[in-house]
Structure 1
Amino acid sequence: MEASQRTRIFREEALRHHAGAQEEGDLLRISPRWTRWTYWVLLALVLSAGLYSVFGTIPEYASGPAVVKVEGRSDLTPQQPGIVASVDVKSGQRVEAGQPLVSFLSQEETVTLERIEREFELQLVRVLQDPTDEAARQSLTSLRAERELAQARQQARTLRAPHAGVVNALRVRKGQYVNPGENVVSVVGDDVRVTLVALLPGGYRPRLEPGKPLRVELHGFSHEYQTLTIESVGDQVIGPAEVRRYLGADSGDALQLSGPMVLVKARIDSPTFTLKGKTFNYFDGMLAQADARVRTERILVTLIPGLKGALGHED
Structure 2
Amino acid sequence: MPWNLETDPDYARAMLAMLRASATTDNPADLTRIVEEFAMDWIGDRAFLRFHDATDSTLWSAVDDEYGVEACRGLAGAALLGLELITTANCGREPAYEASVDDPRGAGDERIAAIALAAATVTPASPDRSAHAVLIVIREAAREPFDARAGGRIVALAHRLSPLLDQLALAAVLNASATLELGAEDDDPTFLYRAEALEAYRGSHSQGPVLRLASPWLGAVYRAVVGLVIVSLAYLCLVDVGEYSGGPALIRLGGRTQITALTDASVVEVMVSPNDRVEAGQQLIRLHDVDDASESERLEQEFELQLRNLLRDPGDAAAQRAVTTLRAERERTAWRLREHLIRAPTAGVVRDIRARPGQALAAGEVLLTIASEESNPHVLALLPGDDRPRIEVGMTLVFEIDGYRDADRALRIEHVYEDVVGPAEALRVLGPEVAGDMVITGPVVLVRAALSSEKFESKDTQFRYHDGMRGRAEIEVRSTSVLEALIPSLEEL
Q: Are residues 1:185 and 2:368 paired? A: yes
Where do 5+ consecutive residues of structure 1 fail to align?
Answer: 1-28, 311-315
| Residue from 242, 267, 284 that aligns with 1:101 | 284
Distance 2:398 2:274 in 1: 31
Q: Are residues 1:73 and 2:249 paired? A: no
Change over 3 Å in CA distance of 1:273–1:41 after alignment to 2: farther
Distance 1:117 1:209 in 2: 61
Matched residue SS, 2:480: strand
**8 A contact 1:67–1:251 mirrored in 2:** no
| Residue from 428, 439, 457 that aligns with 1:275 | 457
Q: Are residues 1:246 and 2:426 paired? A: no
Change over 3 Å in CA distance of 1:304–1:116 after alignment to 2: closer
Distance 2:421 2:329 in 1: 47
1:77-96 matched pairs, under 5 angstroms: 77-96=260-279
Q: What is the letter of the counterpart of residue 302 of structure 1?
A: A
Distance 1:147 1:306 in 2: 76
**8 A contact 2:456–2:465 mirrored in 1:** no
The CA deviation string for residues 20-74 of structure 1, in whole angstroms up to 9 with x for no partner, is xxxxxxxxx96586x6655544443332112111111111111111122233222
Q: Are residues 1:63 and 2:63 paired? A: no
Distance 1:123 1:261 in 2: 61
Distance 2:374 2:275 in 1: 16
More contact order relative to length (CA 8 Å, sep ≥ 6)? 1
Q: Which has the larger displacement, 205-214 or 85-94?
A: 85-94
Aligned to 1:197: 380
Aligned to 1:291: 474
Q: Which has the larger displacement, 178-187 or 69-78?
A: 69-78
Change over 3 Å in CA distance of 1:180–1:307 after alignment to 2: closer
Distance 1:224 1:36 in 2: 49
TM-score (norm 1): 0.74
Q: What is the letter of the counterpart of residue 89 of structure 1?
A: V
Change over 3 Å in CA distance of 1:113–1:279 after alignment to 2: farther
Distance 1:242 1:67 in 2: 16
Give 1:280 deviation, angstroms: 3.0
Aligned to 2:339: 156
| Residue from 423, 445, 450 that aligns with 1:262 | 445
Give 1:183 deviation, angstroms: 1.6
Q: What is the letter of the counterpart of residue 250 of structure 1?
A: E
Aligned to 2:236: 53
Aligned to 1:213: 396
Aligned to 1:7: none
Matched residue SS, 1:231: strand
Distance 1:304 1:144 in 2: 79
Distance 1:92 1:39 in 2: 74
The CA deviation string for residues 157-190 of structure 1, in whole angstroms up to 9 with x for no partner, is 1212211212223222211111122222221222
Q: What is the letter of the counterpart of residue 231 of structure 1?
A: E
Change over 3 Å in CA distance of 1:122–1:280 after alignment to 2: farther
Aligned to 2:409: 226
Give 1:273 deviation, angstroms: 2.1
Distance 2:411 2:455 in 1: 12
TM-score (norm 2): 0.49
Matched residue SS, 2:374: strand
**8 A contact 2:407–2:456 mirrored in 1:** no
The CA deviation string for residues 258-310 of structure 1, in whole angstroms up to 9 with x for no partner, is 1221121222343x123145443333222121111111111111122232244
**8 A contact 1:229–1:266 mirrored in 2:** yes
1:17-32 matched pairs, under 5 angstroms: 31=215
Matched residue SS, 1:44: helix
**8 A contact 2:422–2:442 mirrored in 1:** yes
The CA deviation string for residues 86-134 of structure 1, in whole angstroms up to 9 with x for no partner, is 222233433332232221121112223444555678899x79xxx9986
Distance 2:336 2:387 in 1: 51
The CA deviation string for residues 227-275 of structure 1, in whole angstroms up to 9 with x for no partner, is 11111222222221221122222222332211221121222343x1231
Matched residue SS, 1:192: coil
The CA deviation string for residues 130-159 of structure 1, in whole angstroms up to 9 with x for no partner, is x99869xx8999978866654443232121
| Residue from 409, 419, 426 that aligns with 1:236 | 419
Question: How many residues get paired?
Answer: 277
**8 A contact 1:239–1:260 mirrored in 2:** yes
Q: Which has the higher strand share?
A: 1
Q: Which has the larger displacement, 159-168 or 54-63?
A: 159-168
Matched residue SS, 2:272: coil
Give 1:198 deviation, angstroms: 1.2
The CA deviation string for residues 191-218 of structure 1, in whole angstroms up to 9 with x for no partner, is 3222322111111111111111111111
Q: What is the letter of the counterpart of residue 253 of structure 1?
A: G
Change over 3 Å in CA distance of 1:94–1:40 after alignment to 2: farther
**8 A contact 2:280–2:345 mirrored in 1:** yes
Distance 2:323 2:488 in 1: 86
**CA root-mean-square deviation:** 3.3
Matched residue SS, 2:230: helix
Matched residue SS, 1:181: coil
Q: Which has the higher helix share?
A: 2
Matched residue SS, 2:424: helix
Among the aligned pairs, what percent are the same residue?
Answer: 37
Matched residue SS, 2:477: strand
Distance 1:119 1:216 in 2: 64
